[in-house]
């Protein structure tokens, strides 16, 4: 982010650990890490072993020549290592990132010379997104780095003290400060990094450009561009399939409520950079579409006797006496569950009929309970509301079928009453609170219950702003607890599989995106531009002329196989996390360099 007075950065060698970290980070930012899973795992094991064995260095003499660059490089590397290792399940201490906060001389030096440390502070700020409960150091680091990044964003491109701020770096800072990490859709982040080739140099400090030569090779960016384009084609086909499914079952033309097939599929497909098989995306979409239609029926359309009859039909799992909208909803539910049972039996050999039915029975029961509260103007206690509200948000109905499909692991007591793991319970609570924070004004007008309004009207003497702030604080606490459950590998026999954790994290990111400062889910237009960029709009490559070219004509050296054709022939398998670099037919000229770093 920073260069010397003449604007031409010096070139400095990069240590092996930082090379590995930068390689892994760029593979993930470009959206092609799924093809290098084995190599990334080996690289991070090496980084973890060397990084955690190092003793903290003593305070530095900031007056010595070159020490500022050394501090900036150390901060950059420590923050990058912490974030990547924690994201991949390693147990790492915040103290390895926040050491500068305990050295007053270093901290003051950074504050006074913040322009030279913006790149390091950007990585520190990114690391703080992964704070767990009780990690107060990371909260302090978040506040400190945010303050310096905000000041840096106001600097002119060429300041009087010789600091040069590059436009691509300014764009990165703007995104970092404006959009919370959990609200960012990874597929769109990949697009941004693929389109702007200038952001892949490693800027660390004043007069220091650490250049990772492997990512100068045009083949890397071309591979990322083709990978993104094929993802778009896959997503486009799947979205059309989901629209046909919704139409065939009568859900999209039911005549009331919200038709959100595109919104829902978009959130399932693009919220995570981690690969999910095609069938998992479709299962999440189908369950969420049915939840949206049925929830609207209970909220606004159905009479109480209709809702009671539908709920009883779901309990009996027999809908022959239903008619109208109730019959459409039950038939769609029955078809969906039967299809899921067949898929799971064929894949894993278990019959989940009663487990799935019980989950939906509980969900429909919660909707009926809320409908009775709303129509009778009954005000439950906060505890009563949350006990029902965490079920009625229907997280368990939307994502657990996908979890069952993705992994053969099952929770205990699965054939009795619905049993939810702690990770799922946290997600259910978070989804309800995020929804309530952005919907309370609308729901209050409609006579619906909401956590924010309950706190305000429950005798706690809070006004509406204080009530919302109280819910926000609870969300912040729950998020940190959730992240620890979702990211850390427990190491016990009964630990939830990584595939389950991935799907839970994807779902939280989707809810954070839908309810990030507004209720985008209920808006007919809020996400149209993002959907277009993710699924329909071709890449607009802002590449130097030496990187430009017809992607369709770019062929790999080994066996003259076109990368795009290879991906298409691979189909959805290339997004299942099963491919590795050794299976990709990619140019040996840069692959050998990359593997040497990893």
Interval 347-373 mean pLDDT: 95
| Residue 426 to residues 295, 405, 473, 501, Cα–Cα distance (Å) | 21, 21, 15, 12
Find the domain containing 530 and state its range. Answer: 249-534
Asked if 34 and 275 count as a contact pair (C-beta separation under 8 A), the reply is yes
Split at pLDDT 50, 70, 90, the class of 595 is: low
Q: 268 and 119 in one domain?
A: no
Task: State the Cα–Cα distance between residues 137 and 131, nearest whole angstrom.
Answer: 9
Q: Tens of pLDDT along 412-439?
A: 655 444 567 899 999 999 999 999 999 8
Q: 172 and 67 in one domain?
A: yes
Tell the burial category of 401 from Cβ atoms under 10 Å away from its Cβ (0-12, 13-18, 19+). buried
Asked if 325 and 297 count as a contact pair (C-beta separation under 8 A), the reply is yes
Which domain-ending residue is among 491, 507, 534? 534
| Whether the predicted pLDDT of 213 surpasses 60 | no
For the chain, helix, strand, coil in percent to 5 are 65, 0, 30
Is residue 3 assigned to a domain?
Answer: no
Q: 500 and 386 in one domain?
A: yes
Q: 139 and 261 in one domain?
A: no
Q: How many domains does the chain have?
A: 2
CATH number of residue 257's parent domain? 1.10.600.10
Task: Give the per-residue pLDDT at 166.
Answer: 57
Interval 16-28 mean pLDDT: 89
Task: State the Cα–Cα distance between residues 173 and 556, nearest whole angstrom.
Answer: 35
Q: 169 and 20 in one domain?
A: yes
Task: State the Cα–Cα distance between residues 30 and 273, nearest whole angstrom.
Answer: 10
Task: State the Cα–Cα distance between residues 553 and 547, nearest whole angstrom.
Answer: 13
Q: 182 and 91 in one domain?
A: yes
| Residues recorded for the chain | 598
Q: What's the token pair of residue 214?
A: 């492997």
Write out 242-298 in H/E/C secondary structure: HHHHHHHCCCCCCCCCCCCHHHHHHHHHHCCCCCCCHHHHHHHHHHHHHHHHHHHHH
Q: Tens of pLDDT along 231-273?
A: 999 999 999 999 999 999 999 988 877 789 999 999 999 986 5
Task: Give the per-residue pLDDT at 309.
Answer: 97
Is residue 119 assigned to a domain?
Answer: yes
Name residues whose C-beta falls within 8 Å of residue 328's C-beta, 6 or more positions apart in sequence: 249, 250, 251, 254
Which domain-ending residue is among 484, 505, 534? 534
Interval 203-226 mean pLDDT: 62
Q: Tens of pLDDT along 535-582?
A: 999 998 877 655 555 444 443 333 333 333 433 333 333 333 333 333
Asked if 566 and 222 count as a contact pair (C-beta separation under 8 A), the reply is no
Is residue 8 assigned to a domain?
Answer: no
Least confident of 124-138, 259-273, 285-299, 457-471: 457-471
Q: 257 and 322 in one domain?
A: yes
> Which helix H or strand E contains 210, and what residues bound it?
strand 208-210
Q: 287 and 161 in one domain?
A: no
Is residue 237 assigned to a domain?
Answer: no
Is residue 1 assigned to a domain?
Answer: no
Q: 448 and 357 in one domain?
A: yes
Q: 264 and 216 in one domain?
A: no
Task: Give the per-residue pLDDT at 52.
Answer: 77
Q: 112 and 219 in one domain?
A: yes
CATH number of residue 202's parent domain? 1.50.10.130
Task: Give the per-residue pLDDT at 596.
Answer: 56
pLDDT over 70 for what percent of the chain?
76
Is residue 235 assigned to a domain?
Answer: no
Q: What's the token pair of residue 111?
A: 């504050």
> Hey, which of 172-176, 217-221, 253-257, 264-268 has the most confident mean pLDDT?
264-268
- Residue by residue, DSSP assigns 329-346 as HHHHHHHHHHHHHHHHHH
Q: 524 and 560 in one domain?
A: no
The CA-CA-CA angle for residues 204, 146, 205, to 5°, reads 15
Which domain-ending residue is among 482, 509, 534? 534
| Whether the predicted pLDDT of 448 surpasses 50 | yes
| Whether the predicted pLDDT of 121 surpasses 50 | yes
Task: Give the per-residue pLDDT at 276.
Answer: 66
């Amino acid at each position: 982010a920073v260069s010397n007075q003449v604007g031409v950065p010096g070139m400095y060698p990069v240590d092996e650990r930082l090379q590995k970290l930068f390689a892994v980070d760029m593979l993930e930012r470009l959206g092609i890490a799924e093809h290098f899973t084995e190599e990334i795992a080996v690289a991070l094991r090496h980084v973890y072993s060397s990084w955690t064995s190092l003793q903290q260095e003593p305070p530095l003499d900031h007056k010595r020549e070159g020490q500022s660059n050394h501090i900036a490089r150390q901060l950059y590397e420590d923050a990058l290592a912490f974030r990547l290792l924690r994201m991949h399940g390693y147990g790492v201490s915040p103290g390895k990132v926040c050491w500068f906060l305990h050295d007053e001389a270093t901290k003051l030096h950074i504050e006074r010379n913040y322009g030279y440390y913006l790149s390091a502070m950007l990585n520190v700020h990114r690391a703080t997104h992964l704070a767990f409960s009780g990690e107060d150091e990371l909260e302090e680091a978040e506040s400190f780095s945010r303050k310096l990044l905000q000041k840096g964003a106001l600097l002119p491109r060429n300041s009087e003290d010789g600091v040069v701020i590059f436009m691509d770096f300014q764009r990165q800072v703007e995104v970092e400060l404006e959009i919370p990490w959990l609200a960012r859709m990874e597929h769109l982040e990949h697009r941004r990094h693929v389109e702007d080739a200038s952001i892949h140099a490693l800027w660390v400090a004043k007069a220091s450009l650490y250049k990772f030569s492997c990512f100068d090779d045009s083949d890397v960016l071309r591979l990322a561009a083709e990978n993104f384009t094929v993802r778009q084609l896959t997503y486009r086909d799947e979205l059309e399939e989901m629209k046909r499914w919704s139409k065939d079952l009568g859900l999209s033309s039911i005549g009331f409520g919200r038709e959100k097939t595109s919104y829902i599929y978009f959130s399932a497909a693009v919220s995570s950079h981690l690969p999910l098989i095609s069938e998992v995306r479709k299962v999440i979409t189908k369950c969420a579409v049915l939840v949206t239609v049925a929830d609207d029926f209970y909220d606004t359309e159905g009479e109480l006797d209709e809702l009671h009859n539908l709920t009883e039909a779901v309990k009996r799992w027999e809908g022959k006496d239903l008619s109208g909208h109730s019959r459409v909803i039950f038939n769609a539910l029955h078809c969906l569950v039967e299809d899921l049972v067949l898929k799971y039996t064929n894949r894993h050999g278990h019959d989940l009929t009663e487990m799935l039915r019980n989950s939906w029975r509980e969900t429909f029961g919660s909707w009926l309970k809320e409908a009775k509260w709303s129509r009778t103007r009954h005000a439950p206690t906060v505890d009563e509301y949350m006990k029902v509200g965490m079920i009625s948000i229907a997280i368990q109905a939307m994502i657990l079928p996908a979890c069952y499909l993705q992994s053969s692991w099952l929770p205990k007591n699965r054939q009795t009453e619905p049993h939810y793991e702690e990770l799922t319970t946290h997600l259910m609570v978070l989804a309800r609170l995020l929804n309530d924070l952005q919907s309370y004004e609308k729901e209050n007008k409609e006579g619906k219950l909401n956590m924010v309004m309950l706190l305000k009207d429950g005798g706690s003497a809070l006004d509406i702003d204080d009530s919302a702030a109280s819910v926000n604080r609870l969300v912040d606490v729950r998020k940190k607890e959730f992240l620890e459950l979702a990211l850390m590998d427990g190491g016990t026999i009964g630990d939830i599989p990584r595939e389950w954790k991935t799907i839970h994290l994807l779902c939280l990111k989707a809810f954070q995106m839908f309810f990030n400062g507004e209720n985008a889910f209920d808006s007919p237009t809020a996400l149209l531009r993002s959907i277009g960029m993710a699924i329909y709009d071709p890449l607009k490559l802002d590449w130097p002329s030496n990187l430009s070219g017809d992607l369709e004509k770019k062929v790999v050296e080994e066996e003259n196989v076109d990368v795009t054709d290879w991906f298409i022939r691979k189909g959805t398998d290339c997004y299942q996390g099963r491919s590795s670099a050794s299976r990709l037919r990619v140019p040996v000229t840069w692959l050998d360099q990359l593997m040497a770093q990893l």
